[in-house]
Structure 1
Amino acid sequence: MTNNEIDKAKSGKSHLDNFIKYLKERFDLREDSASEQEVAERVGRGVVFKGTNLWVLIFAIMIASLGLNVNSTAVIIGAMLISPLMGPLIGIGFSLGTNDFELLKNAMRNFLLMVSVSIVTSTLYFLISPITVAQSELLARTTPTTYDVLIALFGGLAGMVALTRKDRSFVVVAGVAIATALMPPLCTAGYGIATGQFRYFIGAFYLFFINSLFISLASYAIVALLHYQKKTQIDKEKEKRVRKIMYVVIVVTIVPSVILAYGIIQHTSFEENADRYVTSVFHYNDTMLLDYQKNYHYKNRQSEIVVRLVGEPLSQSAIDNARSQMENYGLKNTDLVIRQTDTKGESVDVTALQKSYSELLEEKNAQIARLQSRVASLSIPDTLSVSDISREAAQVVDNVASLSISKHITYSAEGVATDTLFYCFVEQKDSLAVDVDRLGEWLKVRIKANDLRVIINNE
């Protein structure tokens, strides 16, 4: 190697060393780090929930519950801005990283208090709220995935990094990041209890639990990265056992969320592939794509794509060719269902077709309304208690042994419903006469019926 080549190699190595040194200076967390004692005092103060912290938590939970209830993202964010949730979780991770078991006990107690107060507050809100429908913002917190874990992890990292700085201007912002992962699930858990929908409670509380776990884990990781001193020295074997337990808890907690995330990814991938497939393949001169439907099935059942076509019907060879292209779009375990409408060579009037669909929809809605009205007319009103009426009738008219009332619809010879009337079947006492006219007039007033027939059972 010549001297020139050696000089070039040294120069290249020098540039690389300078670049690495530059990166280390940029990403070094120790430069503006607060002292360990100062950080420990901050964490210790932050874990305590009483007085101001507790009341602010209650108000924040109320605001977040209201935001979830009315489906307002802005209101939920507003609740996060004042939420004091990060203290106990940061404290748990910090205490594990420094072997401060007294702080760990205090953080755990306050964590349980925080959870209890939050769930009770949100439950009370949803019990008195007139809006009981689960909105999209609320439903989004019932199915935990790996993405939620990542939000909690990065939020926890941001919170702990901000807490260990001399300049604490970013602590509030980091608290908002942590509240993003914690407040909505807690409020959703309260909704599940208030409405008796425990699957919502289980899903939301599981989301809250894994988020809490990974926020604490993030705090623990920053403490380890900064090499904070241990407050209590324990033997290496015991430390290994503690770490093993931590790893087991982490794995057991995260596995279900990974499975759920995989399912969501598969579903999203199917939707995207189906869109690409239909828009790319179904282009024909005399046949127009009307619409299509994607039905994804999570388990062993085949997913399917239902395509509706109008115009010249596709030949079997064209359909087979369309099916053969499905694998090219990642649709291996998917069935293709084609619904065709033959216009017999006539041009397709899209506007008329849309109008036809609208008219059909209106007709169906009108039919549903008629059927609902018919069901209502066939049902005897709740206020009509035949047992009460039979006792009252015995006091109004003599010789009534028993009676029954039913509601009927009369039809014309053309099969058209013409009227609704009540029938009252009366059994007399020992063949003694019943004043039919008096009973009929009284019943019309009693059950609010315009048309009523009284029939005497002589047997």
Structure 2
Amino acid sequence: MNNYFNLQIGEEEKEKVLANIHSSISFSGANVWILACAIIIASVGLNVNSTAVVIGAMLISPLMAPIVGSGFALAMFDFALLRKSLKNLLISTLIGLLVSFLYFLLTPFKEAQSEILARTSPNIYDVLIAFSGGLVGVIAVTRVEKGNPIPGVAIATALMPPLCTAGYGLATGNFSFFGGALFLYAINCVFICIATYFIVKLLKYPSIGFVDAKREKKVRNWITFITVLMIVPSVFFAYQFIQQQRFQEKVKLYVQKEFESKGNTIVYQKTNYTSPATLRTIELAFLNKKFTAKEIEEENKKLEGLGLPNTKLIIRQDSAFLAEASTKKIANNEVDNARSALISDLNSKVARYSFQTDNLYKEASSIFPELTSISVAKQEIFTKTDSTTVIPVGFYQSEKPFTKENEETLRKWLEAKLKVDTIEIYRR
């Protein structure tokens, strides 16, 4: 039974593992080029919101080597290796910030996409991912057969995207993004290092030289201090994240129950979740439903009873905003099928029964000065055979009746102008 949990089975020789660690932590030559290219790829992926590109950057990034090297150095009290690992980690971090900062400074497209937003709010779950990923990574590093875990660890722990997001925050002057992304990067670095420390201790890698109990205790105290320093704010952020998710669920239930279940089509919805001490808002706009000030006030009174205290409902009803929101909704196929079909049918009827008549009167009156008004349309004609015919019809007004010659000239001009084979002309 003990063999199931025995990490010595399949373990690589310790000397070979340490030799690989020493050779991989150096950032010079090819490693610097690989790092810079990985940063550019990750920045482009974040910029265009491509998950596949971001994953590709994670896989080729060499950032994890100095972090694992730091964990080995702490566990073995190899302070020369620790200094070298931390120095190279600092250099690679600064290169990452600089290259991503320059990319986002120069790119014309600076909108924060979901791939960027996902790296700005770390919490305790990121600690668990980093620690678990670090455990898997260092176990794989110490195996004779490395297997598949290494690429998976690179994707799970995601060192490159938060570093590039921090560069985005610097380039755009958004220091909350910069701080959140850099904290996520720090969480990943610290807990991969701590996970490495535990596995190296478990595998009983030998200490470098003599280490007294006092110095060993000092190292453990620093590890504990840094761990607590990372975990405490992460737990707080996780609590905020859970509260926000609960708020969003309550908003979704409220909107569905009070509006969508009654047949109202929502063309715009925005929820602003802030700290409990600050007023939160729910913004809605409807396709055709109009609310009075009293109805909006009554809806706001319902919110606290539905578990949404300190929240204000704002209903946008200005026509310009509604037109823009409706257009976007239709373009994104978010309006229900029945309404989409109705809109499509109306558009086709408008196209069937109308003409493009820009400058029609201006041009006609230059030919016929006595003309006072003119209008054209396509008229549907019904017959006994239950079939219909659509014919172009024109109506005009003039100071005095047109002669037959003038009316014929007007008819021929309209046929050429409207590009039709024939048109009926009548005086109103």
Shorter chain as normaliser: what TM range?
A: 0.5 to 0.7
Instruction: Quote the Cα distance in structure 2 between the aligned partners of 1:175 and 1:115.
Output: 19
**What is aligned with 1:439?**
none
Alpha-carbon contact 2:71-2:197 (below 8 Å) kept: yes
Alpha-carbon contact 1:34-1:164 (below 8 Å) kept: yes
Moved more, 185-194 or 152-161: 185-194
Kindly provide the amino acid, as one letter, of the partner of residue 32 in structure 1. G
Describe the shift of the 1:61–1:26 C-alpha distance in structure 2 as closer, same or farther (beyond 3 A): same
Instruction: Quote the Cα distance in structure 2 between the aligned partners of 1:302 and 1:114.
Output: 42
2:160 paired with 1:198: no
Instruction: Quote the Cα distance in structure 1 between the aligned partners of 2:32 and 2:42.
Output: 15
Q: 1:361 aligns with which of 316, 320, 323?
A: 323
**What is aligned with 2:309?**
333
Question: Unpaired segments of 5 or more residues in structure 1?
Answer: 1-20, 340-355, 366-459
Instruction: Quote the Cα distance in structure 1 between the aligned partners of 2:153 and 2:115.
Output: 21
State the number of aligned residues.
Answer: 321
Give runs of aligned pairs for residues 132-281 of structure 1, distance below 5 A.
132-170=110-148, 172-174=150-152, 176-177=154-155, 180-276=157-253, 279=256
Residue-by-residue CA offset, 1:398-453 (whole Å, 9 max, x unaligned)? xxxxxxxxxxxxxxxxxxxxxxxxxxxxxxxxxxxxxxxxxxxxxxxxxxxxxxxx
Kindly provide the amino acid, as one letter, of the partner of residue 147 in structure 2. S
**What is aligned with 2:378?**
none
Q: 1:106 aligns with which of 53, 59, 84?
A: 84
Shift in Å at residue 41 of structure 1?
A: 1.5
Instruction: Quote the Cα distance in structure 2 between the aligned partners of 1:168 and 1:293.
Output: 47
Alpha-carbon contact 1:97-1:223 (below 8 Å) kept: yes
**What is aligned with 1:126?**
104
Instruction: Quote the Cα distance in structure 2 between the aligned partners of 1:50 and 1:231.
Output: 26
Describe the shift of the 1:56–1:147 C-alpha distance in structure 2 as closer, same or farther (beyond 3 A): same
Describe the shift of the 1:290–1:63 C-alpha distance in structure 2 as closer, same or farther (beyond 3 A): closer
Shift in Å at residue 295 of structure 1?
A: 5.1
Alpha-carbon contact 1:99-1:233 (below 8 Å) kept: no
Moved more, 356-365 or 299-308: 356-365
Alpha-carbon contact 2:63-2:159 (below 8 Å) kept: yes
Kindly provide the amino acid, as one letter, of the partner of residue 226 in structure 1. L
Instruction: Quote the Cα distance in structure 2 between the aligned partners of 1:211 and 1:261.
Output: 16
Partner SS, residue 103 of structure 1:
helix
Describe the shift of the 1:364–1:305 C-alpha distance in structure 2 as closer, same or farther (beyond 3 A): closer
Kindly provide the amino acid, as one letter, of the partner of residue 9 in structure 2. E
Describe the shift of the 1:228–1:290 C-alpha distance in structure 2 as closer, same or farther (beyond 3 A): same
Describe the shift of the 1:128–1:281 C-alpha distance in structure 2 as closer, same or farther (beyond 3 A): closer
**Identity rate, percent:** 41
Residue-by-residue CA offset, 1:172-214 (whole Å, 9 max, x unaligned)? 4155236x42101111222233333333322222221121111
Q: 1:45 aligns with which of 23, 27, 51?
A: 23
Q: 2:62 aligns with which of 81, 84, 87?
A: 84
Alpha-carbon contact 1:185-1:205 (below 8 Å) kept: yes
Q: 1:72 aligns with which of 36, 50, 66?
A: 50
Shift in Å at residue 336 of structure 1?
A: 8.0
Residue-by-residue CA offset, 1:373-413 (whole Å, 9 max, x unaligned)? xxxxxxxxxxxxxxxxxxxxxxxxxxxxxxxxxxxxxxxxx
Alpha-carbon contact 1:289-1:308 (below 8 Å) kept: no
Instruction: Quote the Cα distance in structure 1 between the aligned partners of 2:257 and 2:325.
Output: 35
Shift in Å at residue 86 of structure 1?
A: 1.0
Alpha-carbon contact 2:58-2:159 (below 8 Å) kept: no
Kindly provide the amino acid, as one letter, of the partner of residue 173 in structure 2. G
Kindly provide the amino acid, as one letter, of the partner of residue 361 in structure 1. A
Kindly provide the amino acid, as one letter, of the partner of residue 84 in structure 1. P
Alpha-carbon contact 2:55-2:155 (below 8 Å) kept: no
Kindly provide the amino acid, as one letter, of the partner of residue 141 in structure 2. L
Shift in Å at residue 268 of structure 1?
A: 0.4
Alpha-carbon contact 1:60-1:83 (below 8 Å) kept: yes
Residue-by-residue CA offset, 1:90-126 (whole Å, 9 max, x unaligned)? 0001110111111111111111111122222222222
Instruction: Quote the Cα distance in structure 2 between the aligned partners of 1:222 and 1:29.
Output: 9
Residue-by-residue CA offset, 1:16-71 (whole Å, 9 max, x unaligned)? xxxxx2xx333322111112222211211121112222211111111111111211
Alpha-carbon contact 1:162-1:174 (below 8 Å) kept: no
Instruction: Quote the Cα distance in structure 2 between the aligned partners of 1:306 and 1:363.
Output: 12
CA RMSD of aligned residues (A): 3.8
Alpha-carbon contact 2:122-2:181 (below 8 Å) kept: yes
Alpha-carbon contact 2:119-2:180 (below 8 Å) kept: yes
Residue-by-residue CA offset, 1:325-352 (whole Å, 9 max, x unaligned)? 63xxxx273568698xxxxxxxxxxxxx
Describe the shift of the 1:126–1:319 C-alpha distance in structure 2 as closer, same or farther (beyond 3 A): closer
Shift in Å at residue 225 of structure 1?
A: 2.2
Shift in Å at residue 323 of structure 1?
A: 6.8
Residue-by-residue CA offset, 1:107-154 (whole Å, 9 max, x unaligned)? 111111111222222222223322222222122222222222222222
Give runs of aligned pairs for residues 356-395 of structure 1, distance below 5 A.
361=323
Kindly provide the amino acid, as one letter, of the partner of residue 106 in structure 2. I
Alpha-carbon contact 1:119-1:186 (below 8 Å) kept: yes
Partner SS, residue 211 of structure 1:
helix
